[in-house]
Amino acid sequence: MTRLTSRLLVYVSMAELVAALYVVTTGLSLYHARLMFEAVLPTFIAGVAVAYASSSLKGASRASRALEALASIMGWAVAATGLMASLGGPRVPLGVSLVVFGSLLASLTAYALRKWDVRLSVAMLGYTQALAGVVLLGAPWLSLFPLALVFVIVEAIGAIYSVTLHSFPSTFGDVPSKALTGLVFALVSAAVPAALLRDLWLSNVLLGASMLISVLAFRGDRLRSYYAKARASSSPIARGGTLYFLYGHVFAFSALIVAGIVLIASAALRLNPLILVHMMTLGAISLFVLIHAPMMLPVMMGWSSARRYNLTPYVSQAAAAVLWPFNMHVSFFFVGLAFVFDALIVLPSREPMPLSLVR
């Protein structure tokens, strides 16, 4: 049930993404925004979160299976209520669904592998989803784009923090910094009541600070030593995959640093929340999706993978993020290009890929 739920939710989110990108070309930008932040992101994250939490379990007890089943059901509730909200319905059902869904995910921590970073990863994944639900329930007075900014960072960037704290350092035989990781989630937690109390400047500062600290917390300062480990592999495909993972985090951590600085300075810069939302979605969020999609989705979806790792997805997505303030249509073209090249990593073919890492 869990695997089927994950697959179907990912397919649903892909269909919603196509619809959201089409809608923006017709000039209906408001519907694009609502589809993206109320439907696409919650549905995709729910699908991936169910699979991720399940893969972290140490065994299959009756209790853990029951919790997995309930989490799968609530994943569908998140998808359904998110779609309803994006089509003009109330946001309260989505908020409630996220709180319950996140609580169920966090409860799976009791059955996760005994490594502390794995358990913390599952717990924080559930916690950030529940916290995002609190944002929707507690800030109905916020207009669309300020609400979307806080929600997207808490839900999507929060999920990224939760996965990255384990996945990035553990790939290179390392663990995250306990103190700094705790500080990252403390800052995200403090940003929510600040937003609910209408202090959006303080909320932005706290969220921006969490982004800057996360790079150090998750060992982004050890890229050189990790590069040496990645290059040491004797298998061209394994080496290419590890380098793809490493270079992706170079791009993504850079995006987090830029976004963090801009968020902290947003009051002085007087930036429109719409610009900040797209900085998050086209920058860090999309880059992290591009990192994990060709590695995680084939396992989740039951696909075979050609593993033709290359840098083109990251370069295309970086171009999209830079171009958006000048021409959104050209930017979205590069977004599409990035995800096409990401798909080509998986699709069977003997054609050489540009900027290939498999040598």
DSSP 103-143: HHHHHGGGGB-S-HHHHHHHHHHHHHHHHHHHHHHH-TTS-
Residue with tokens 């609530």: 74
pLDDT, position 298: 83
Task: Please report how the helices 41-55 and 92-107 are oriented relative to each other, as an axis angle in degrees rounded to 10.
Answer: 10
Do the beta carbons of residue 153 and residue 204 sit within 8 Å?
no
Rounded CA separation 228/172 (Å): 10
pTM of the predicted structure, to 2 decimals? 0.94
Closest Cα to residue 185, out of 216, 162, 168? Answer: 162
Rounded CA separation 29/122 (Å): 35
Rounded CA separation 170/208 (Å): 25
pLDDT, position 36: 94
Which residues does residue 310 pair with via DSSP β-bridges, in sequence order? 356
Using alpha carbons only, what angle is made at residue 33 by residues 27 and 38, rounded to the nearest 5 degrees? 145
Q: What is the mean pLDDT of each run of 10 residues along the chain (359 residues)?
A: 87 94 84 94 96 83 86 96 95 98 93 88 97 94 91 98 97 97 98 94 96 98 96 91 97 97 87 89 96 86 84 96 90 92 87 86
pLDDT, position 168: 98
Question: Going by C-beta distance under 8 Å and a sequence separation of 6 or more, which residues neighbour residue 202?
Answer: 191, 194
Rounded CA separation 294/62 (Å): 32
Q: What is the DSSP letter of 304?
A: -
Closest Cα to residue 268, out of 205, 195, 184? Answer: 205
- What tokens does 171 get? 């790939």
pLDDT, position 30: 87
pLDDT, position 244: 97
